[in-house]
Amino acid sequence: MYPVQLKRLPGNEDVALPRKMSEWAAGFDLHAAVGEPLTLAPGERALVPTGFAMAMPKELEAQIRPRSGLAYKHGITCLNSPGTIDADYRGEVKVLLINLGQEPFTIERGERIAQMVFQTVPQVKIEEVSELSETVRGEGGFGHTGR
Ligand SMILES: O=c1ccn([C@H]2C[C@H](O)[C@@H](COP(=O)(O)OP(=O)(O)OP(=O)(O)O)O2)c(=O)[nH]1
Ligand SMILES: [Mg+2]
């Protein structure tokens, strides 16, 4: 178990902190901390506040992912999916939503808009070299094995 600290930001006592909606859910649902209902027209995007900030061990990142129900029913998704929350970020967690549907969609205060999944981040050390090891694939990519 990794310790993760959440800090509610002032004026958001009525907005739920991220929580799992079932015992083994992978994601903690994120709630919109909009002051007023926010309507996204088709094609429109917005950075939606969540009302909290976070501290987690440096071994972790958090990914902000869309909720499939909002995507399926309304075309609402995360533009930068998955969003990356760095372990050293102390600002408000925000969700970059976009309306890819055909109708305007209104986000109400407290509504669940996305989910947050924690992942471990391998620590790597990058080194520059002049030759890379050979493989059978080589430079083949982007569909070179066929459709
Ligand atoms: O969906 C997101 C994505 C990012 N962030 C916050 C946390 C993250 O640690 C920080 C920076 O995100 P990222 O590295 O993706 O953006 P950038 O454009 O590279 O900004 P920066 O130069 O600040 O790293 O913004 C969010 O709150 N929600
Ligand atoms: Mg960055």
pLDDT, tens only, 102-140: 999 999 999 999 999 999 999 999 999 999 999 999 999
85 CA to centre of ligand 2 in angstroms: 9
Classify residue 73 as exposed, middle or buried by CB count within 10 Å of its CB (0-12, 13-18, 19+).
exposed
106 CA to centre of ligand 1 in angstroms: 24
Residues with Cβ < 8 Å from 77, sequence gap 6 or more? 66, 70, 71, 97, 98, 100
Any binding-site annotation on 67? yes
pLDDT of residue 32: 98
Q: Is residue 81 part of a domain?
A: yes
Would you place residue 83 in the very low, low, confident or very high pLDDT band (cuts 50, 70, 90)?
very high
Sheet with 112-120, strands from edge to edge, namely: 28-31, 112-120, 60-66, 83-85
Q: Provide the number of structural domains found in the chain.
A: 1
92: domain range? 5-120
Q: Is residue 77 part of a domain?
A: yes
The residues with which 121 forms a beta bridge, in sequence order, are none
Q: Is residue 12 part of a domain?
A: yes
CATH of the domain at 9: 2.70.40.10
Any binding-site annotation on 69? yes
Place of tokens 């990356």: 84
Predicted TM-score of the model (pTM): 0.96
- Write out pLDDT tens, residues 9-58: 999 999 999 999 999 999 999 999 999 999 999 999 999 999 999 999 99
